[in-house]
Structures are given as C-alpha cells and as structure tokens.
Amino acid sequence: MFPKGLLFAIILGVVSGPIFGIILYEYGVEDQLVYVDGTSLSIVTEKTNFTLGEPISITIVNSGTDELKFPDASYGLIIKQLDSIPIFSPTAAQVISNLDSHEDVTFVWDQIKNNGDQILEGTYKITSKAITLDGSIIEKIVIIHVFK
C-alpha cells in the first residue's frame, strides 16, 4: 500500500527524533552552580523562564575556594538587555564587599528598570563582576527569558 522507502523514513524519523532530542537537551543544559577549587563566581536563579511582572530571585555565589571582592554593596550585579545596555542595578553604598568561599548573597528583582518603567518581554543578561585575590576581574553572565 505505502512504498517501503516512505515507511522506512517515517519509522527512522519517529525513532531518531526523541533520541536526538534527549541528547541535545542534555548537551544544552548548563549547571548554574558548580563548586570548584580556586576562583569561581556563580549566579543562580530558580529558573530561566519567567512571566512578566514575576519577582526574580538572584543569588550571587562564591563557588570557589578563594575570597572575592566587589566594588560596592550590590556585589557587581547589573541586569542588561541582550545588547548589553544596562537597565537595572541595585542602589548600593560604594564600599568594598567581600564574599568568602561558598558564601552567597540574594537579591530580588521586581522587573522594574532603574528609571521606574516595567521591562518588556524579552531576553536579559544578569551579570556580576568580582575582583580576585591577584587583582584580576572575573565576570559571570546568566541569560533569562521574560514572557507575557
């Protein structure tokens, strides 16, 4: 009734689709928090997809064994549009803040820009910069998506 080539192609597609889907999903999932020896900075959110207006909990973690220093009390936290234009950073005192090994600090962002406007749906970057023991700067970036 159906050509053998058509049946073979359909069966091959039905079998290979889920297999490649699982492989690509596992390859694309990156752990946000991995503890390592040495210097490491992590940014953790409870998920990567949020609805518009939903509060976003952001945790900055010293995931290494070395102490990290930050230029202010906001721990270098800046939220940017995908084109790297800053839209939010917490108001903070200009004092040097330290984060010891495995310590963390949590901020909650209500999706309001520094100018008081609500953000639009889209993709945003959460960034934090720290100063290491040898004076170099490390930066961590996490991507989040905001939907209606």
- Which tokens sit at 24? 């690509």
What's residue 23's pLDDT?
76
The rounded distance, in Å, linking the Cα atoms of 146 and 72 is: 27
Q: What is the DSSP letter of 14?
A: H
Confidence at 26, pLDDT banded by 50, 70, 90: low
* CATH architecture type of domain 41-147: Sandwich (2.60)
What's residue 22's pLDDT?
78
Instruction: Report which residue type is found at 133.
Output: L
Asked if residue 42 has pLDDT above 80, the reply is yes
What's residue 28's pLDDT?
58
Residue spans of the domains in the chain: they are 1-30, 41-147
The torsion angles phi and psi of 111, rounded to 5 degrees, stand at 65, 30
The rounded distance, in Å, linking the Cα atoms of 50 and 72 is: 27
In the chain, the DSSP E strands lie at: 41-45, 49-51, 56-62, 68-70, 78-81, 86-88, 97-99, 104-109, 122-131, 137-147
